Amino acid sequence: MIADHQKTKGDSTLVRASSSNVMLFGNLGNLRQSVGNGGGGNTNSYNVLDYLPKPAREENPMPNGKYPNSVMGNVVKKQHEEQKPGAEQPGGPEVDHVDIAKAKGLQIHLNKCTEARRLRDWNTLIKETKAAISSGADSALLIYALQAEALIKLHRHQEADEVLKKGPNFQDDECTKYFGPIGNANLLMVRAQVDMAVGRFEEALAAAQRATRLDSNNKEANMVMKKARAVAAARSTGNQLFKAAKFYEASNAYGEGLEHDPYNSVLLCNRAACRSKLGQYEKAVEDCNGALNMRPNYSKARLRRADCYAKLEKWEASIQDYEILHKEAPDDEEVGKGLLEAKAQLKKHREPAATLRPVQPKAEELLMATIAEGI
């Protein structure tokens, strides 16, 4: 992946990644600035081809009627200019043709991203953003943001977090410089939703607040900020009540947060802890199930579920969870102890059943004995 500072240098909109794929200036996947409709509100319509970073726009004005009104138009323009007689061609004409073909192929995927986002077809958006990244947009921050947004909408929170971690890491000022304040606000909005989904509540609230400062008219950004504030407050209140051993009240506090964000894995896991303390083991298991559906590697939720299964004497289910945890953390004493205890209890419950089970003679032997006795 291209280092962040490389994108701030040079006068070309075309740079190369370590993978040798064609790379654009770094704005691929830029979210369209929200355009007011006749009523004056935000449409929150995104187009991944519309916006160039400001420096690139200034240095590469697009000719009217000659190239497509898009980022890709500048790529094609740049390639043709480099092939003019006397122009420097470091990679040679063959490489240029390959680059043009790659750029055009990438444009197809970006167009499909735009359409999928418009239709809210999240599965297709994931597919096309992956294709765009594979085709050369592997340093385009907002392509990763689009993919993360789609994963959040499908409640695949763990994957969304992993996707954003794979993307390039820009400072806020750099994002605003290259994507514009509204583009960066949309990026921060996605970041806030991902942070909130995986329990980074303070970071989520901070990102949402920055988004609303950059784009105060963005209704969706304001909604994300309100949700982040409500969820963070619910978690904080619930934690204080739990520490005070007020488990019923803490459970209700986490529940209030879940009214704002029903799929929040951290609030579900915390409420499961309260329900376990209250002896509501089945309900606790349900909350852990919900948390693990969205974050399969959420070890705290799996450990809590393993303990609840043990209290319900569902030893096989408890062992299954403990074994997964043991593979992830073989040196964890709590996990090791829980696994040994669950296995011992399962063996203990199986042995009496085998001991008390009456020994049934084979049907043939019973028949022969009956005949011999003349009965």
Is 222 domain-assigned?
Answer: no
State pLDDT tens for residues 80-100: 444 445 545 555 555 577 778
Residue type, position 7, single letter = K
- Between CA 99 and CA 115 the distance in angstroms is 25
State pLDDT tens for residues 191-218: 999 999 999 999 999 999 999 999 998 8
Is 272 domain-assigned?
Answer: yes
Looking at 136, 161, 185, which one is the last position of a domain?
136
98-124 per-residue burial string, b: 16 or more CB within 10 A, e: under 16:
ebbebbeebbebbbbbbebbeeeebeb
Gap between the terminal Cα atoms of the chain: 89
Looking at 113, 136, 159, which one is the last position of a domain?
136
Looking at 84, 102, 136, which one is the last position of a domain?
136
Q: What is the pTM of this model?
A: 0.71
| Matching residue, tokens 């298991």 | 285
Cβ–Cβ under 8 Å, residues 218 and 189: yes
Q: Write out the H or E segment, with its range, that includes residue 325.
A: helix 315-328
The residue range of the domain holding 129 is: 4-136
Largest CA distance in the chain: 116
Is 276 domain-assigned?
Answer: yes
- Between CA 160 and CA 197 the distance in angstroms is 9
Cβ–Cβ under 8 Å, residues 230 and 260: yes
Residue 228 structure tokens: 């982040």
Q: What is the CATH number of the domain that holds 328?
A: 1.25.40.10
What is residue 171's three-state secondary structure? coil
Is 213 domain-assigned?
Answer: no
Is 287 domain-assigned?
Answer: yes
Number of domains composing the chain: 2
- Between CA 26 and CA 170 the distance in angstroms is 11
Is 107 domain-assigned?
Answer: yes
Is 188 domain-assigned?
Answer: no
Give pLDDT, residue 353: 54
Single out the residue of 155, 154, 130, 147 nearest to residue 295, CA to CA: 155
| Size of the chain in residues | 375
Question: Along the 375 residues of the chain, how does pLDDT read in single tens digits?
Answer: 333 333 333 333 333 333 333 333 334 433 333 333 444 444 444 555 543 333 333 433 333 333 333 334 443 444 444 444 554 555 555 557 777 888 888 889 999 999 999 999 999 999 999 999 888 888 888 899 999 999 999 999 999 999 999 988 888 888 888 889 999 999 999 999 999 999 999 999 999 999 999 999 888 889 999 999 999 999 999 999 999 999 999 999 999 999 999 999 999 999 999 999 999 999 999 999 999 999 999 999 999 999 999 999 999 999 999 999 999 999 999 999 999 999 999 998 887 655 545 545 555 554 455 444 544
